[in-house]
């Protein structure tokens, strides 16, 4: 969908998501790294607190990882956002325009986030490997 210049090379995007048809700023624009990181950190903290409710007075240890997976997969699959994403004002949108992310996409995103590297490496549209493998983009609300 990107345009080419007279030399046949691909034209540079002026902002992340431009060639995906997304606006430069505001609702529907590609979410920045800060918002994504904030959502991730909030989800981790929430998972630790939820797991701690069940393991207190002991530390939750790996139970917080299970709580994080549930907090990440279920709401993202059904509603397109995690609790942390909701607070940070972002959500995951499918490129095909479908309303729901779906559980398989949410599971893939969760599994790859555990590895961290696929979640960190971004292309010119600020889409991580998670986004590219699941045909999604994280946008501002």
Give the model confidence (pLDDT) of 34-43 as tens digits.
999 999 999 9
Model's pTM, two decimal places? 0.86
Res 133: pLDDT:
94
Q: Encoding tokens for residue 91? A: 């959500």
Res 5: pLDDT:
46
For the chain, percent of residues with pLDDT exceeding 90: 81
pLDDT per residue as tens digits for the range 45-102? 999 999 999 999 998 989 999 999 999 999 999 999 999 999 999 999 999 999 899 9
């Amino acid at each position: 969908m990107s345009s080419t210049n007279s030399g046949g090379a691909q034209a540079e995007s002026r902002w992340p998501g431009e060639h995906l048809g997304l606006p430069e700023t505001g609702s529907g624009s590609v979410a920045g790294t800060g918002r994504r990181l904030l959502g991730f950190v909030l989800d981790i903290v929430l998972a630790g607190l939820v797991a701690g409710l069940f393991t207190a007075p002991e530390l939750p240890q790996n139970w917080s990882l299970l709580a994080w997976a549930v907090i990440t997969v279920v709401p993202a699959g059904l509603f397109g956002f995690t609790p942390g994403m909701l607070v940070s004002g972002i959500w995951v949108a499918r490129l095909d325009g479908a309303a729901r992310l779906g559980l398989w996409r949410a599971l893939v995103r969760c599994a790859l986030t555990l590895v961290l590297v696929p979640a960190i490496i971004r292309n010119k549209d600020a889409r991580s490997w998670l986004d590219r493998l699941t045909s999604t983009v994280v946008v501002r609300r």
